[in-house]
Amino acid sequence: MTELTELGAAAAARAIHAREIDAGELFEAYRERAGADELNAFTWVAEGPPPPTDPAAPLAGVPLAVKDLFCTEGIPSQAGSRILEGYRPPYTATVVENLTGAGVTLLGKTNQDEFAMGSSNENSAFGPVLNPWDRGRVPGGSSGGSAAAVAAGLAPWAIGTDTGGSIRQPASLCGVVGVKPTYGACSRWGMIAFASSLDQAGPLARDVTDAALLLSHMVGHDRRDSTSVALPEPITLPTAEDLTGIRLGVPEELLAGGDDGAGIEPGVRESFEATLALAEGLGATIDTCRLPHAPHALSAYYLIAPAEASANLARYDGVRYGLRVGGEEDLATMYTRTRGEGFGAEVKRRIMLGTYALSSGYYDAYYGQALKVRTKIADDFRAAFARFDFIATPTSPWTAFELGSKADDPLAMYLNDFCTVPMPLAGIPALSIPSGCSDGLPVGFQLAGPAFSENPLLQAAHALERAIGFDGSQVRA
């Protein structure tokens, strides 16, 4: 059983195709591990006999962990919130449909920050997820359950969502690969919405090859999502071994690490610089670049995302589905009680921020200004990509921090996303790969590219991954 779970996802699919291993046995091996989960990574694990699989299917029955933000028909889909506790939707998200159609088997649903609002996975109504590298530390968020499950070997791969860094930041803190595709590359239909102009699905995996394989079956236009688009070319498995001809830009503005003076943690900076040196040795040219409006991305994000959330979350009223508190009184009282008990503190904070930013007299001063900053950030990236193929930064300013250490300081928590929020605001793809460790904890290296540059990004990441030689197998023991 243990040997089966040590196989990478792509290797497992090849072995099933060749009939060297049985898909049912692989599923049982992972279900046993997921069922013994001590990290609180899962909110639901599949029961009953393994589903039938087609050995000829592209993904050939390889088990998949799914963030609980994706609706799955007849299976709890709760978005980490008490207001949706026990909700079983009558339909399945397009991305999950695409993957099951390609042959994956649904292993379980993973824990997350409530409605994807968080950077530590401490905001879940179902309790915090623990980091497999150190159970006294956070796994990152909001896709922390997916990242922790993959890092700990409870699942061969997983899917999450990234609004401001919710795939890349937990990938960094847990030592796995996480990809945020170009906005629109994956359908949002059936994803429980946080901020509709930013949310995007993506893979988390042990290595770049597995991430590319999973992503290749997630993407595509969906008539049910008008923001989805067909990629100009299929996602292919990366094979690059060098970076000859690649131009990497390093933005000084993002290496500052925020206006609070905290900057980038020394161990993270050391790992980042070592990875740049490896990239140069592989043939890349490296130079500083300018993203002058990037330091304002965090402020713009925490106006735009809460504003969209305040509109999206208005649908949870206790009338049609989910939690209902009261009902005998007038409707307004029932709304108030349901939302008061159903939403957690961070969700309430963001709803209030967003409602205020959209209110009469403040829309132009706050939300309108944030949209202008967003446009400037996108312009900055376009100018940078005229000179560089990719932008390189640390993924997170620091490694995994202790549980509870930032829970009472929202600004300190938000600064976790300093390096990751500019890319969703610009709608461009970005990924995180492990670049080593600092004091025994993983560090992430982030690459961002122009819109629809997923294939070149994955190729560059593959070459770097080989050179880095990161080994996360000790946490899967």
* Active-site annotation holder among 77, 143, 166, 172: 166
Would residue 142 show up in a list of annotated catalytic residues for this protein?
A: yes
Q: What are phi and psi of 241, to 5 degrees?
A: -120, -5
Cross-sheet strand order for the sheet of 441-448: 42-45, 105-110, 63-67, 157-162, 200-205, 177-180, 430-438, 441-448, 390-394, 247-251, 285-289
* Active-site annotation holder among 77, 142, 187, 432: 142
List the catalytic residues.
67, 142, 166
